[in-house]
Amino acid sequence: MKVISYNVNGIRAAIKKGFVDWLENSECDIICLQEIKANKEQFDLNLFSEIGYNYNYWFSAQKKGYSGVAILSKHKPKHIEFGTGIKHMDFEGRNLRVDFDEISIMSLYLPSGSNIQRLDYKFQYMKEFKEYILKLKDDIPNLVICGDYNICHNAIDIHDPIRNAKVSGFLPSEREWLTDFMSLGFTDSFRHLNKDPDKYSWWSYRANSRVNNKGWRIDYNLVSDSLNSRIKSSSILDQVFHSDHCPIVVELNL
C-alpha cells in the first residue's frame, strides 16, 4: 500500500496548479490531505473519482476557507471516523481516519503556533491529542498518522536550528512532545530509512526559501511500531510544487 500525505494549502488552488494530473500519475493507493481550506461543495468531486479515487472523504473546518483535512482512497474502508469527538479539534477540521482490515490511516493537521494565543492552543491540542491516541491504540494497534505536525523533531530536520531555537515549530517543548508522542509506539517512517540532512517538506514563501532549500521537515508519516517491519520505502517529493509544502510518501507491505 502506497500512502501519501500532503498539505495542499488550499485544494482549489492546488487543482488549478495541476494537482489532479499529478495525483493520477502518483500511483498511490491513499492520499491524506491537510489544509484543504474548502467545503466539498466548492469544487468538483468527480475530478477524483474519474482517476480512481472513488472513496473520498472531506472534513472541513466550520470556519470558511480555513484548515480542514481529507482522505482519498482507491480502496473502500470498512469505517470512516470524522474527527475525534473533541469539540474544539473537530470545529477546526483537523482529524479524519479510515479503517481497513489490516491498517487504519489518519490525516492530521496539528495547529501552528503563529501567535501566543495559537501557541497556547497548540499545546492544549497536543496534550489532548496524545491522550486520544493513547486510548485509540488499544482498539487500533496498526495505525498510520499522516500529516502536518507543525514541528521539526531534531536539528537535522530544519535548515537553521540555532536561529530558529525560539521559534514555534522548533521550540524545545514542542520537540519534546513529539518525542513523547512517538514513545507511545510510533516510528518516523522517513528517518527510519533515511538519515540524510537537508530533506524538508515545507518552505516559507519568503526570501526564495525553497530555491535555497531553507526548509523545515514538519510533515510526517508516523507508523505504529507493529508495522515497522513492513515499511518498504519512505520519501519526500520535494520536486512537486502545488503548495508551500511537498508530498511525503510511505510504502507498506501488507
Q: What positions carry a catalytic annotation?
A: 148
Which amino acid, one-letter code, is at 112? Answer: S
How many whole angstroms separate alpha carbon 32 and alpha carbon 43? 17
How many whole angstroms separate alpha carbon 68 and alpha carbon 247? 17
Determine contact, residues 92/67, Cβ cutoff 8 Å: yes
C-alpha cell of residue 136: 485509540
C-alpha cell of residue 99: 479503517
Phi/psi for 249 (5° steps) reads: -130, 140
User: b vs e for 13-42, b when ≥16 Cβ sit within 10 Å of the residue's Cβ?
Assistant: ebbeeebbebbeebebbbbbbbbbbbebee
Which amino acid, one-letter code, is at 227? Answer: L
C-alpha cell of residue 21: 494530473
